[in-house]
Structure 1
Amino acid sequence: MSAYVVIDLDVADAEGFQQYIDGVTPLIDKVGARNILVDPGTETLEGDWNPPTLVIHEFPSKQAVLDFWNSPEYEPYKDLRRKYSTVKVVVAEAN
């Protein structure tokens, strides 16, 4: 069952954050996930959620997300991500 990672992304340093993207993209590909959406122009229709950039990734399963998120390969990129951006991340599994 597919799982979706939804990210509210606020990049503080685009050049620095590119290092994160360059390193993480092959890791995402390796686990069979794919980038569905990156949109810096979202429009809030109701409520007060207004992500500067909305990102959505599709993974094969919620367990695949958790395995990726907690993997030793991803660990150094978390620090890079935190250095150059602020994120809110949720995962949900399709039924």
Structure 2
Amino acid sequence: MSMYVVIDLDIDDPAGFQRYVDAVTPLIEKAGGRNIVTDDNCLVLEGDWRPSTLVVHEFPTREAVRAFWDAPEYQPLKALRRQYSTVNVVVGEGS
């Protein structure tokens, strides 16, 4: 069953954050994931949630998400991401 990583992303420094994107994309792909949504103008239909940028990654399994998130090579990139942005991240299983 596919897993979806949903990210509420607020970028503080676009140029700096691009360094993170360039480094993390190959790691996402290595874990079998892919980016399916990046939207900085998403449509809010109800509620108070207004992400600056909505990002969704798809992974083949929960184990693939954990392999990516816990990978030793990703750990320094988390610090880089935090330097240039603020995020909220949740993972949900597709139906």
What's the TM-score bracket when you normalise by the shorter of the two chains?
over 0.9
Q: Which residue of 2 aligns with 1:49?
A: 49
* Structure 2 equivalent of residue 12 of structure 1: 12
- Output the TM-score relative to the length of structure 2: 0.97
Q: Distance in 2 between matches of 1:5 and 1:61?
A: 11
State how 1:1-95 maps to structure 2 within 5 Å: 1-95=1-95
1:31 offset after TM fit, Å?
1.1
Size of the aligned set, in residue pairs, is 95
RMSD: 0.7
Q: TM-score, normalized by length of structure 1?
A: 0.97
Alpha-carbon distance in structure 2 between the residues aligned to 1:46 and 1:91: 21
Q: Kindly, what percent of the aligned residue pairs are identical?
A: 62
Gaps of 5+ in 2: none
Alignment check: 8 A CA contact 2:31 2:67 kept: no
